[in-house]
Structure 1
């Protein structure tokens, strides 16, 4: 029996055989392992590449339950991808780290067309309302993002208060209450409303017997709003005690549009939050990456590291080349032209004219990125590359060794 495998017993004492082939481990080592890692990383990168920039394409992601998500947000795409390769999983974790730390930069910020100016103003006003300029930080707990199907995206509005997906309990109740005192209860029939507590200055009370006047919150206006001919109604609590609490109320034709708008607004909010933390910027449109020409020039002074430095500079150029390709341009021709102009004019603000405005000067187009976000992108990507290059052996259980 030992020639075939090993006898084992289950929890009921019944014997079964573990075949020796099942005990073997598949193994990749040396250059084979490195090639496998690079191919997996390239596959993930190529999936996201076409979503880069203002002309980037969306991806339709379908989960196991058949739920459809349409997005061009890199963190969302990667989090929903079903990947098996270990390095691909590492790339997904990289994206999550970028999204958690900076909030944007997985594929860049894209706020939906037509109303991007309005969305930008809403994002800026909401951040400036809740920002603590002394600490140079923003508490996202004070910003609530709600959405309701109906209307159009341009109907999105910023409310200096809180919206609750509830209606008044009786149809004969007044539709607007001024100078309202609000009790916030955490009883078995209702989950606690922490954002209402923050906005109104009230305290969440677990039992009716503990309710006192000091624990009540205050709001200048509590009103019920309805939507079109439907019976959908929500409560709006405005003129609160804590005027720093805000709600962004998104409207859209369907749930997918609203969810994508939420993701885009989240990225926009994070960009503005990063500017509050550190207001230094670099120019977008691939201008910063095209300036990596300086890295290639510096490579001439480091003979021992020359090839590595040149490869690093070449890797950075994939961003502007992808932007050009996604915008319908010849990537090689466009890159060569812009790079030559950067050197000739000594203008590091020259990038890819994705919006076809007739100028490559990102300063004139007002296309900027936060320095803190750009540094985090490059730093995290470099760390993952170092990690990949240091792995020379893979062993996986449960597969037959050749």
Structure 2
């Protein structure tokens, strides 16, 4: 066996090691961060993404851009993951997280070139990330759901730069009303309790909050009333039709009279079903499954408004909005199971009939009817609205806020520089690099607004050195102002999550020094290849009994 090649990897696999592997990874991650960098801030630009089917998405939401870009490189995917996590956890700050991660890697690359070992950089980054978390908490101020003005400011900050500036006030009011209405006593906010219905064909200003539910369906029978006041709503999970028998059964009919009596009996059973529903006092029925044609006729006759095949999620929201109970067995339906609403009405919106359930007492689920001129406009506004809803929800849950406009990043960067000076090891270099990396946010805000980034950064630092901890960049006037007074505020979690996620992913990418990529579908070397000169079919190891 001496001198025989040993194949460990399958044929066609690629392996990159050491400095080359690190610089490949860092380059890919930086490229991804660079792709979303121009979208940051109020003056950020949008990206147009066209998928393989030709569908167009126009957005400047970091998470949406990275998701639609269909990225292949494994290290670049980790930056996408940072953005996705930020979106799942907080809903806003996705671009910030990706940009910070890219900048941390750029600074790390400079240190690696100065022969600082990646594990030292990783350890320094971890220390800096922890310290940054402590510093940023000292900058936080409290907010409660009663501070409506501050909540509107938070909502406005989240929507700025996302195509919703012109209608920011309308959307911010809708957002705050929706979140405060579904938040429970412990300030928990479940976003599933807000339903957003989009309809093109009107101005964005016509967006409204419905203190109840919108169901994108019409009534099942034209003879039913279009409008029911003082609605008593039955929410039925099961079909209002005759069930098939559990066992295979055959009915033998030998005369027309028997057939007629069979049909009469069937009709009577359906009428009994409908009578049970109407006997409970219900004048509106939402059914998750089907409603038989004959049942529709009897419901219409009784003046009941009925909708069938309502989605399960909508049924649950209806229960929370109207205070009704979901009924699985029609035989056991009672008046106590009814939900209540002042009005259930079918209206035409944008040419399509929709059902509005309004005037619910203290609804725990609400709907937002989102309007816009075209589909693309409305999709873009929906993304801005979702960010805004999530951010206000997070603010109510955590009750902690920081100023925006790059002010927390500059303050944390300054304090980290001071902290770095107290360290004696090489980690000091990494902590300094981390501090410098955070300044990429105010620098990018300035660049995207066409301002001089160096001048702006110097001015920001000067204000923070003087103790103005909430000084940030007003990109509209190109001046440094007090962000707290200007009402540019964000939840604390947006910042802490962005810095932590960016630091963790940068550390993970830095610690990789070997990339083994196996080519899919490449056949591995056979036993004959491994041990040459064996007779055909004798692919065993030497010394084995074949």
Same fold (TM over 0.5): yes
Q: Partners in 2 of 1:199 and 1:340 — Cα distance? A: 52
- Counterpart in 1 of 2:386? 266
Q: Partners in 2 of 1:47 and 1:210 — Cα distance? A: 59
Q: Partners in 2 of 1:100 and 1:51 — Cα distance? A: 19
Structure 1 residue 332: Cα displacement: 1.5
- Counterpart in 2 of 1:137? 188
- Counterpart in 2 of 1:225? 347
Q: Partners in 1 of 2:392 and 2:8 — Cα distance? A: 59
- Counterpart in 2 of 1:45? 33
Residue of 337, 340, 346 corresponding to 1:215? 337
- Counterpart in 1 of 2:48? 60
Q: CA RMSD in A?
A: 2.3
Write out per-residue CA displacement over residues 39-64 of structure 1, whole angstroms, 9 at most, x where no aligned residue: 11111111111110111111111222
Structure 1 residue 320: Cα displacement: 0.6
Correspondence list, 1:47-126, <5 A? 47-107=35-95, 109-111=158-160, 112-126=164-178
Q: Partners in 2 of 1:257 and 1:276 — Cα distance? A: 29
Correspondence list, 1:292-303, <5 A? 292-303=413-424
- Counterpart in 1 of 2:107? none
Please tell me whether residue 198 in structure 1 is matched to residue 186 in structure 2.
no
Q: Partners in 2 of 1:286 and 1:145 — Cα distance? A: 31
Q: Does the CA contact (< 8 Å) of 1:53 and 1:110 recur in 2?
A: no
Structure 1 residue 209: Cα displacement: 4.3
Q: Partners in 1 of 2:455 and 2:397 — Cα distance? A: 38
Q: Partners in 2 of 1:337 and 1:271 — Cα distance? A: 29
Unaligned runs of 5+ in 2: 1-6, 97-157, 240-288, 291-308, 523-546
Q: Does the CA contact (< 8 Å) of 1:198 and 1:242 recur in 2?
A: no
Correspondence list, 1:219-368, <5 A? 219-227=341-349, 231-291=351-411, 292-304=413-425, 305-343=427-465, 345-356=466-477, 359-368=480-489
Q: Secondary structure at the match of 1:281?
A: strand
Q: Partners in 1 of 2:394 and 2:515 — Cα distance? A: 39
- Counterpart in 1 of 2:281? none
- Counterpart in 2 of 1:180? 231
Structure 1 residue 127: Cα displacement: 0.8
> TM-score under structure 2 normalisation?
0.66
Q: Partners in 1 of 2:82 and 2:95 — Cα distance? A: 13
Q: Secondary structure at the match of 1:35?
A: helix
Of 38-47 and 58-67, deviating more is 58-67
- Counterpart in 1 of 2:207? 156
How many residues end up aligned between the 2 structures? 379
Q: Partners in 1 of 2:60 and 2:387 — Cα distance? A: 12
Structure 1 residue 310: Cα displacement: 0.9
Please tell me whether residue 393 in structure 1 is matched to residue 381 in structure 2.
no
Q: Secondary structure at the match of 2:471?
A: coil
Structure 1 residue 78: Cα displacement: 1.3
Q: 1:357 to 1:161 in 2, by over 3 A?
A: farther
Structure 1 residue 376: Cα displacement: 0.8
Higher share of residues assigned helix: 2
Residue of 26, 31, 40 corresponding to 2:14? 26
Q: 1:357 to 1:164 in 2, by over 3 A?
A: farther
Write out per-residue CA displacement over residues 223-247 of structure 1, whole angstroms, 9 at most, x where no aligned residue: 12223xx632211101225523211
Write out per-residue CA displacement over residues 121-174 of structure 1, whole angstroms, 9 at most, x where no aligned residue: 111111111112x42211222211111111111110111000111223445544
Higher share of residues assigned strand: 1
Write out per-residue CA displacement over residues 66-114 of structure 1, whole angstroms, 9 at most, x where no aligned residue: 2111111111111111111101111111211111111211036335121
Structure 1 residue 334: Cα displacement: 1.3
Structure 1 residue 359: Cα displacement: 4.9
Q: Partners in 1 of 2:408 and 2:178 — Cα distance? A: 29
Q: Partners in 1 of 2:175 and 2:219 — Cα distance? A: 30
Q: Partners in 1 of 2:339 and 2:415 — Cα distance? A: 58
Q: Partners in 1 of 2:454 and 2:16 — Cα distance? A: 36
Q: Partners in 2 of 1:357 and 1:210 — Cα distance? A: 68
Of 143-152 and 194-203, deviating more is 194-203
Unaligned runs of 5+ in 1: 1-18
Q: Partners in 1 of 2:56 and 2:213 — Cα distance? A: 29
Q: Secondary structure at the match of 2:36?
A: helix
Return the structure number with greater relative CO, CA threshold 8 A, min gap 6: 2
